[in-house]
Amino acid sequence: MTIAPKTTVVDYVGRTIDISCFHGAGYGTDKQVDQAIAQPGEGGEVLTGIFKLAQRFLMLLLTDKGSQPYNPDAGCPFMQDARQGRWRTSTDVLQSFSFSMVDVKRQLRALQLATDPPDERFNGVTVLSIVLTAPDYVILRLALVSEAGTKRAFIAPIPVTLR
């Protein structure tokens, strides 16, 4: 597996794009992202490739299953588990994440089109680390892998109340 190289304008030719919902998801090894389409004074960032896949993955992971009346199957129980106080240890978080991956993988594969390039198609995800910090954060380090073999490591900060 290789880490995604820096993208140039040429890489966007003939591809569909998405607008970044997580500010700061640029290049580097690990980078904490903020949920914001744009920071003050900045425009939205355009995504494609492994970054587009990572955003799609996070959107499904962080969406409560049943929260979208027009699409009740979208999302998973991951954040519901957090709000209900089921995360007391890193093992609890891992178990919730693993259970939620059944829904997330199914939805990612259903969203894929035959015309999507391999670096936008989901192959797998690995939990690199789970950190519970006081008073109210769980930080997941994840490695997302596309069908092209491109790997993207990112940090997903999740504010929750740990009970």
Pairing of strands 150-159, 137-146: antiparallel
Helix, coil or strand: residue 4: coil
The CATH code of the domain that includes 14 is 3.10.450.40
- What is the amino acid identity at position 35? Q
97 vs 14, more confident:
97
| CA–CA separation, 32 and 17 (whole Å) | 22
pLDDT digits (tens, 9 = 90+) for 40-94: 555 566 777 888 888 889 889 999 999 989 999 999 999 999 889 898 899 999 9
Domain limits for position 142: 2-159
Instruction: Decide: 96 and 78 in contact? Cβ < 8 Å.
Output: yes
One-letter amino acid at 25 equals A
The three-state secondary structure class of 43 is: coil
pLDDT of residue 137: 81
| pLDDT of the residue at 23 | 59
Q: Which residues pair with 152 in a beta bridge?
A: 144
Q: How many domains, the chain?
A: 1
pTM for this entry: 0.76
